[in-house]
């Protein structure tokens, strides 16, 4: 065998695992089915603008992707932070979210923050089944305070209703960010964009001896007698399928792609049952959105805002809007601005319901024109519907119900990525899963991450 580890997938988690293992002297072969890097966090050019598929901002207080890059000798340059948090209320329009918890309510928010600081991460594991509001209700009964942290949940987790904002997932994230940055949520845009970052990571990976093969789909992870033997590639020209031997394989494909990668009976039945439950279409985080390019910023209040809403006037869905050009002018041609506005919807009721989705798109556009009038002068718009954002972080769908990184019962097999067990949201969650996986493969904690939360 010419490699120590085969990695499957060059999205965030696969790249992080591969880079950290290569940095530790492992010979890693990384196989990616697409011809591009980044997986769901892929970025591409559209009419001169840099559009990230699943990579808007990342919430990394500094100890995940940023530190991985530092370990690799690459500086991940953070954009400047958001300068306002406008919040839309039907009837009143936009106002700073701080107005939700002014006066006496502020004391309730402070109690929540203090209680969270005093609660160890291990205790937050007891809240995997519960909603954020249930945890907050121990410390405040103020609706405005609930709204503030639930609006953050809409921004981060794109969960919809009060009982659907996960307590543990939100509290882990708040705690990590308060501890590291003294703020509820520290997020940034990587200056220069995501694609440049993924390529910089691959450059370091290859300099460390790693091998990357793009456009190389794996059809099977070969398991025999309870141990990994390697992978079989999908035959692209009808010829015999290439097999590559390895006794350690890390799979970063999301849960909805996992079952078909294994022969029947290869994975422990209970793990497979959980994977299938998580992969159910009704557990997807879903949203509809518009990319909007215009000659003036399409914003709520300021150019570098993090604006959110729990319900718009017509389509009535919760969501957020972001003006990318305000964070990094290089994403757009000179004199143009790029905004994304989106709203999440309930997969249990509406997954694949095309007529309903079409109606919501029309209503959302009318809402956008009312909420951000500069959209009326848009140069172009690009509607998009997303149903592979991730497994939704609802109570009961987070924590230990997710697959652990090391597969018990199959020697040499690890799973990683944002649909496995980790904390955070999106890219951050995927990066943290990747760090945990690299440490698990090595069988020890890496000094650079010794002080970080482990899953
Ligand atoms: C529209 C959208 C918007 C989002 N917005 C944000 C945001 O603003 N901020 C944020 O933090 N997160 C966001 N996310 C979530 C974020 O993109 C994901 O959490 C993150 O990219 C997941 O990374 P991953 O490595 O776990 O999985 P993936 O990115 O899915 O990586 C898995 C990789 O495995 C490859 N693969 C799968 N099967 C095979 C196979 N058989 N052979 C070889 N390769 C294979 C895939 O091609 C892929 O490259 C968004 C997601 C979407 C879809």
Q: What is the 3-state secondary structure (H, E, C) of the chain?
A: CCCCEEEECCEHHHHHHHHHHHHCCCCEEEECCCCCCEHHHCEEEECCEEEECCCCCECCCCCCHHHHHHHHCCCCCECCCCCECEEEECCCEEEEHHHHHCCCHHHHHHHHHHHHHHCCHHHHHHHCCCEHHHHHCCCCCCHHHHHHHHHHHHHHHCCCCHHHCEHHHHHHHHHHHHHHHCCCCCCECECCCHHHHHHHHHHHHHHCCCEEECCCCEEEEEEECCEEEEEEECCCCCCCCCEEECCCEEECCCHHHCHHHCCCCCCCHHHHHHHHHHHCHHHECEEEEEEEEECCCCCCCCCCECEEECCCCCCCCCEEEEEHHHHCHHHCCCCCEEEEEEEEECHHHHCCCHHHHHHHHHHHHHHHHHHCHHHHHCCEEEEEEECCCCECCCCCCCHHHCCCCECCCCECEEECCCCCCCCCCHHHHHHHHHHHHHHHHHCCCCHHHCCCCCC
Say how many Å lie between the CA of residue 74 and the centre of ligand 1: 22
User: Of 427, 437, 438, 455, which is best to mutate to test ligand 1, by the most ligand atoms within 8 angstroms of its C-beta?
Assistant: 427
- pLDDT value at residue 1: 64
**Strand arrangement, sheet containing 227-233:** 218-224, 227-233, 243-245
5-78+192-280+394-449: CATH architecture: 3-Layer(bba) Sandwich (3.50)
| Nearest residue to 455 via CA among 438, 280, 113 | 438
| Sequence ranges of the domains in the chain | 5-78+192-280+394-449, 86-181, 286-386
Residue bearing the CA closest to ligand 1, atom 18 = 426
Judge if the beta carbon of residue 34 lies within 6 A of ligand 1. Answer: yes
**Tokens, residue 87:** 């919040």
The Cα–Cα gap between 54 and 69 comes to: 20
**Atom from ligand 1 closest to the CA of residue 418:** 26
Reported as a single tens digit per residue, the pLDDT across 62-103 is: 999 999 999 999 999 999 999 999 999 999 999 999 898 888
Whether 9 is in the pocket of ligand 1, judged by its Cβ within 6 Å, is yes
- pLDDT for 55 equals 61
CA–centroid distance, 371 to ligand 1, in Å, is 31
Q: Quote the pLDDT of residue 104.
A: 82
* Cα-based distances in Å from 32 to 213, 307, 443: 6, 35, 25
User: Which residues, given as ranges, of the chain have pLDDT below 50?
Assistant: none
Tokens of 212: 């990357």
Q: Is 347 in the pocket of ligand 1 (CB under 6 A)?
A: no
286-386 CATH fold? Polyamine Oxidase; Chain A, domain 2 (3.90.660)
Does ligand 1 come within 6 angstroms of the Cβ of 95?
Answer: no
With beta carbons less than 8 A apart as the criterion, state whether 251 and 261 touch. Answer: yes
Share of the chain above pLDDT 70, in %: 99
- Give the integer Cα–Cα distance in Å for 282 and 351: 7
Q: How far does the centroid of ligand 1 lie from the alpha carbon of residue 275, in Å?
A: 17
Q: For residues 155 and 407, give the distance between their C-alpha atoms in angstroms, rounded to a whole number.
A: 32
């Amino acid at each position: 065998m010419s490699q120590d580890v085969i990695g499957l997938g060059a999205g965030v988690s696969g790249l992080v695992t591969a880079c950290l293992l290569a940095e530790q002297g492992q010979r890693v072969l990384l196989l990616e089915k697409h011809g591009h890097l980044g997986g769901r966090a892929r970025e591409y050019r559209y009419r001169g603008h840099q559009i990230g598929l699943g990579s808007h901002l990342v919430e990394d207080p500094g100890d995940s992707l940023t530190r991985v890059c530092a370990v690799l000798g690459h500086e991940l340059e953070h954009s400047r932070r958001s300068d306002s948090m406008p919040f839309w209320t039907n009837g009143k329009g936009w106002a700073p979210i701080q107005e939700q918890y002014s006066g006496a309510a502020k004391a309730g928010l402070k109690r929540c923050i203090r209680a969270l600081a005093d609660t160890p991460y291990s205790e937050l594991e007891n809240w995997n089944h519960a909603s954020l509001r249930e945890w907050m209700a121990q410390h405040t009964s103020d609706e405005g305070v609930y709204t503030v942290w639930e609006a953050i949940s809409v921004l981060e987790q794109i969960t919809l209703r009060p009982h659907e904002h996960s307590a543990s997932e939100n509290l882990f994230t708040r705690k990590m960010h308060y501890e590291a940055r003294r703020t509820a949520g520290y997020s940034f845009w990587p200056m220069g964009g995501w694609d440049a970052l993924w390529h910089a990571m691959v450059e370091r990976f290859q300099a460390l001896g790693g091998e990357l093969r793009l456009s190389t789909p794996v059809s099977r992870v070969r398991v025999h007698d309870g141990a990994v033997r390697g992978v079989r590639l999908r035959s692209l020209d009808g010829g015999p399928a290439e097999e590559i031997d390895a006794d350690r394989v890390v799979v970063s494909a999301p849960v909805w792609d996992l079952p078909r990668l294994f022969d029947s009976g290869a994975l422990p039945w209970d793990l497979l049952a959980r994977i299938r439950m998580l992969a159910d279409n009704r557990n997807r985080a879903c949203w509809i959105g518009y990319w909007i390019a215009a000659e003036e910023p399409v914003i709520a209040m300021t150019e570098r805002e993090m604006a959110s809403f729990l319900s718009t006037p017509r389509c009535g869905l919760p969501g957020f809007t972001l003006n990318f050009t305000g964070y990094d002018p290089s994403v757009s041609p000179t004199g143009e601005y790029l905004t994304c506005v989106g709203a999440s919807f309930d997969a249990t009721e509406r997954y694949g319901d095309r007529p309903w989705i079409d109606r919501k798109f029309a209503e959302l556009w009318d809402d956008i024109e009312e909420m951000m009038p500069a959209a009326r002068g848009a140069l172009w718009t690009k509607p998009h519907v997303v149903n592979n954002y991730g497994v939704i972080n609802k109570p009961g769908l987070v924590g230990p119900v997710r697959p652990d990184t090391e597969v018990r019962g199959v020697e040499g097999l690890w799973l990683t990525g944002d649909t496995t067990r980790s904390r955070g949201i999106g890219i951050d969650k995927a990066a943290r899963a990747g760090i945990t996986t690299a440490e698990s493969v090595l069988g020890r904690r890496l000094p650079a991450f010794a002080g970080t939360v482990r899953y």
